[in-house]
Structure 1
Amino acid sequence: MKMNSKLLCVLANILTVSSVGVIATVAPNVAKADSKKTAATPAASHTETPNGAGLDAEVPSALMQLPPASKYYSPYAFVVDKKERTLNVWQQTGAGLKKVAAYPADMGRTAGEKKSEGDHKTPEGIYFLQTRLEGPTLDFSLYGQRAFTTDYPNFFDRTEGKGGSGIWLHAVPDKVALTRGSRGCVVVRNDIIAELTQYVRLGRTPILIQTATQMAPVAEVTKTNADLNAWLESWRASWEAKNIDGYISAYSDDFKSMKMNREQWKSFKERLNSQYQQITVRLSRPTILIDRNRAIVRFLQEYTSDMHADFGEKVLYLKKEKDGFRIVGEEWKKETSQVAREEIEATQGAATATANADTGKATHAQAN
């Protein structure tokens, strides 16, 4: 199906809906250390202090965009601060980002960023919780009542030659000090892992681990988010229009995917463009996360041409270069679930409704 230019513009604006609005913070700060007594401390403080000014508030600069009303992606993100020894839960709402919970946490017993197997360091970057482990398959004395695996090493870790595996978010028994130091995992109490479970959507809830959480004013985060959404829309529109030069300009010279480099990828796409008379590309509202000079963008993608059609999830791996972010890798996997189909239709429905409303306003203005 074709979408007119006005609808595409509205869709770009819909994708840009982000974190401007009321920001809530958690108080008080979570203590850095833990003892036997702290095991009985309430899981988290949920006292929220709304900031009416909104734009004067600060949020984690890594959390560019989490789809707020998504049934497919998670509106929650776990943000781990190694220096403060905390795990904070942030939620994207329609009004903006807010911190909904804060917990004490333990890290790798060796300071620094994980580089290799057995270094007992906690990695730093953007990861996603993958599987849930509990019951007889989990050693309670080591991992408590529940654990969530992560996707370490991720694309960037592998590209940089980092090694190791088995980095989890897990619990420990109450008798174990939360200052013991792990073999690289992020560790919380049993009652905390139980509470965190409500925020987990396997494969889609991010856990961002940093030496210290980088905070930024909402206005700054919103601008970067808008720029990235505009960049993504330009990439999509160039692909759909078979504008190969505009499309390939989004890719880094270091790009590699499907055993192809940038020039091979360009030739591959040019060959497909010559075969298809028409291409339509639809995207859902993306999840956008940034860590230092790297970013991960995840969205559902519907591709249709006169000869081929597919539907799945696309993941773009970006690196910030001197002239902006560029794609260094991408992945795609087929998606067949009904919730995924509803997600992309909801994005399109929101764009259509906004376009109709704008048309109505314009007509009314002309009549007046």
Structure 2
Amino acid sequence: ARAPAPAPKAAPAPAEPAHAVAAAPAAKPAAPVAETKPKPARDTAKLDVERAVNTWATAWEKKDMPGYLAAYSDHFSPAGGGSLSAWKEERRQRIVGKQAIVVNVRNLQVSIDGDQATAKFRQYYAAGSLKTTTRKTLVMRLEKGHWRIMRETTGG
């Protein structure tokens, strides 16, 4: 009866130092990772802009008008001038009426300057018999945590 009693006492004692040793190495790698966070902020912004551009293209392709229009800032300047509401209605008529739309973003290059970004890419667009590949530039601004399109130009 005496032999089983000391065995349980000895077993918990080695387990405690093992936990302490395991906790120490886990804490050390976390510190260097925290020190490098300021540099990736720009990389994170670029990824966010890339995601916003691809979300815009996917919404356009799916004819998801709320998603497509949400990609644009309330301060968006239509290329041909005119009001934003007239531009939105024109886009709605041109997109919703299509049977199928394909929009591919290729060679996307993003530059960030504070809360402004420029996304340049080749856009492949196909709808019905129309198939085009053009250079496109989106000037975007960070608004309430989301990158929104302020200006859109084709060519160049």
Alignment of 1:237 onto 2:86: no
**Secondary structure of the residue that 2:125 maps to in structure 1?**
strand
Alignment of 1:288 onto 2:110: yes
**Secondary structure of the residue that 2:154 maps to in structure 1?**
strand
Alignment of 1:327 onto 2:142: no
Partner of 1:254: 75
* Amino acid corresponding to residue 312 of structure 1 in structure 2: T
Kindly report which structure 2 residues correspond to 1:49-68, keeping only aligned pairs within 5 A, or say none. Answer: none
321 and 297 in structure 1: CA distance in 2 versus 1, 3 angstrom threshold = same
Question: Structure 1-normalised TM-score?
Answer: 0.31
**Secondary structure of the residue that 2:107 maps to in structure 1?**
coil
1:317 is displaced (CA, Å) by 0.8
Distance 2:96 2:65 in 1: 11
Distance 1:267 1:327 in 2: 17
**Secondary structure of the residue that 1:276 maps to in structure 2?**
coil
Match of 1:312 among 128, 134, 138: 134
1:332 is displaced (CA, Å) by 0.5
Distance 2:109 2:57 in 1: 16
Distance 1:329 1:318 in 2: 7
Partner of 2:93: 271
**Secondary structure of the residue that 2:102 maps to in structure 1?**
strand
Structure 2 residues not aligned, in runs of 5+: 1-31
228 and 331 in structure 1: CA distance in 2 versus 1, 3 angstrom threshold = same
Give the structure with higher Rg (CA): 2
* Amino acid corresponding to residue 310 of structure 1 in structure 2: T
Partner of 2:121: 299
Distance 1:332 1:221 in 2: 26
1:273 is displaced (CA, Å) by 1.9
Distance 2:145 2:104 in 1: 26
Deviations 1:219-264 (A, max 9, x none): 3223222222221111110000011110000111111122144322
Deviations 1:61-112 (A, max 9, x none): xxxxxxxxxxxxxxxxxxxxxxxxxxxxxxxxxxxxxxxxxxxxxxxxxxxx
Would you say how many aligned residue pairs link Structure 1 and Structure 2?
124
CA contact (8 A) 2:46 2:111 kept: no
CA contact (8 A) 2:63 2:96 kept: no
CA contact (8 A) 1:299 1:315 kept: yes
Structure with the bigger percentage of helix? 2
Structure 1 residues not aligned, in runs of 5+: 1-52, 59-215, 335-368
1:308 is displaced (CA, Å) by 1.9
Runs of 4+ deviating beyond 6 Å: none
Distance 1:292 1:245 in 2: 27
Distance 1:55 1:263 in 2: 45
Q: Which moved more, 1:222-231 or 1:298-307?
A: 222-231
Distance 1:285 1:57 in 2: 28
307 and 260 in structure 1: CA distance in 2 versus 1, 3 angstrom threshold = farther
Kindly report which structure 2 residues correspond to 1:152-167, keeping only aligned pairs within 5 A, or say none. Answer: none
**Aligned alpha-carbon RMSD (Å):** 2.3
Match of 2:41 among 209, 214, 220: 220
Percent of matched pairs sharing the same residue = 24
* Amino acid corresponding to residue 330 of structure 1 in structure 2: E
**Secondary structure of the residue that 1:225 maps to in structure 2?**
helix
Distance 2:107 2:124 in 1: 12
CA contact (8 A) 1:276 1:307 kept: no
Partner of 1:85: none
Deviations 1:38-61 (A, max 9, x none): xxxxxxxxxxxxxxx899669xxx
288 and 267 in structure 1: CA distance in 2 versus 1, 3 angstrom threshold = same
**Secondary structure of the residue that 1:284 maps to in structure 2?**
strand
* Amino acid corresponding to residue 291 of structure 1 in structure 2: D
**Secondary structure of the residue that 1:285 maps to in structure 2?**
strand
